[in-house]
Structure 1
């Protein structure tokens, strides 16, 4: 039996924290950015929300009604660097949940990271090493430099957590990557019963059964919507298509969640 979506939680943080860095850490940032000729802007840290991925992960794990248990696999994904560059948040979460999981982070892929994480979870499951997986998708905006996407959109502090287990529920198919035009054609031709969860940069002429993600999200877009609107996938019998276009790469990404078939439904 494939891994199916069993539980989810979403978090939006609007509060702010004081800048947590001492002079030694600020010097680290100055030296790091100088190597890449990126202007250092300390004021963005001083005035930013300063919400770390550790804080977002803690908020997700404490979300009311979120059932995570002790997963076999913890996958942390993000597109914007953490506020604290030296913390290993996937290992931190693993430790909080008992320390018995494989844990890793996937980054440097833009908003594709969570889609890749689904492929990784599926591979672990097929190898017999995973009957439950926790996927964390995190986004924060306090950076010591100007980022056009982060500050121009602007993005907000958001996070989503999804638990996949062997059992009933929506099962993710293979992930899809293409051009924005190819995605538009894919959506317009999709079965009318399919629920489309479309990220902020998706263009489509489809008018029914489309759920638009809020602007102000990037990597978290469709996953936060899925976590906050659980009626979209609980008892869904027609399938859900999650999709977005990465404004940084111009690539479109999608994955379909279909109801797991019972043994009788699987017979020819």
Structure 2
């Protein structure tokens, strides 16, 4: 029985007060200077301080009471945590029932981190060693240096998404997860995925070329304001409505840093 979406939660965390921490400052200073930059404590101080820890707590509180207890927890992030030395994935495993044998993070992949996390969860289920999987996609924008994706153009909002997948039938089955090194091939791939698919919907993130969507296909365009959370937030918020209206949902976006396109296809078990 395939892995399918069972529940989701979304949070826009409240801003918190800046609390300087010499260990974190030293870590950030060393990291920024390693790449030829300079720590900007004013930028750190002016950020909303929305930690991954607090987002994880709020997301778990937002899950339905009958949500499954995962045996695998993956945290995906494109931007670092306010406190990058915390092991938040392990804490999230504890918050979600403490039964997860493995809890870890996927980072340094831009918005592709969440797609990689979903690929890992689906592959782990196919081994027969996992029956329920939690994917957290967390985004906080309090950074130690200027970041073009966050600070230039449309501001990126702090947000968190938690998706629970479990074995079962119905809408939300994980069919495939793909990476295209060249986003120029996205239009052809979307055409292949939607041609003949039952009641398809294409969900595009802010950096997806609108021209890549096949003519006549139903499309949900996620507005700017999210980096790695965008399509996943839409999935968590719209899962019930999409489950009624569609049988195939293709989530896709293109990372503005690398030009790499990512796709995830969810279907319906009949």
- Is 1:180 equivalent to 2:189 in the alignment? no
Closer, same or farther: CA 29–9 of 1 in aligned 2, 3 Å: same
- Is 1:214 equivalent to 2:215 in the alignment? no
1:109 alignment counterpart: 109
Structure 1 portions without partners, runs of 5+:
262-268
2:205 alignment counterpart: 199
1:233 to 237, 242, 254: 242
Kept in 2: contact 1:7–1:66 (CA 8 A): no
Closer, same or farther: CA 208–147 of 1 in aligned 2, 3 Å: same
Closer, same or farther: CA 23–117 of 1 in aligned 2, 3 Å: closer
Query: Following TM superposition, by how much is the alpha carbon of 1:232 offset from its aligned partner in structure 2, in angstroms?
Result: 4.1
SS across alignment from 1:69: coil
Query: Following TM superposition, by how much is the alpha carbon of 1:184 offset from its aligned partner in structure 2, in angstroms?
Result: 2.3
Query: Following TM superposition, by how much is the alpha carbon of 1:45 offset from its aligned partner in structure 2, in angstroms?
Result: 1.1
Query: Following TM superposition, by how much is the alpha carbon of 1:121 offset from its aligned partner in structure 2, in angstroms?
Result: 1.0
Task: State the alpha-carbon separation in 2 of the partners of residues 173 and 135 from structure 1.
Answer: 16
SS across alignment from 2:15: coil
Task: State the alpha-carbon separation in 1 of the partners of residues 124 and 191 from structure 2.
Answer: 33
Closer, same or farther: CA 251–53 of 1 in aligned 2, 3 Å: same
2:169 alignment counterpart: 168
Kept in 2: contact 1:9–1:66 (CA 8 A): no
Kept in 2: contact 1:61–1:68 (CA 8 A): no
SS across alignment from 2:26: helix
Kept in 2: contact 1:80–1:141 (CA 8 A): yes
Task: State the alpha-carbon separation in 2 of the partners of residues 160 and 79 from structure 1.
Answer: 13
Query: Following TM superposition, by how much is the alpha carbon of 1:208 offset from its aligned partner in structure 2, in angstroms?
Result: 4.7
Structure 2 portions without partners, runs of 5+:
none
SS across alignment from 1:253: strand
Task: State the alpha-carbon separation in 1 of the partners of residues 51 and 66 from structure 2.
Answer: 23
Query: Following TM superposition, by how much is the alpha carbon of 1:30 offset from its aligned partner in structure 2, in angstroms?
Result: 2.2
Q: Aligned pairs, how many?
A: 260
Task: State the alpha-carbon separation in 2 of the partners of residues 67 and 156 from structure 1.
Answer: 29
- Is 1:54 equivalent to 2:53 in the alignment? yes
Kept in 2: contact 1:9–1:60 (CA 8 A): yes
Task: State the alpha-carbon separation in 2 of the partners of residues 9 and 141 from structure 1.
Answer: 20
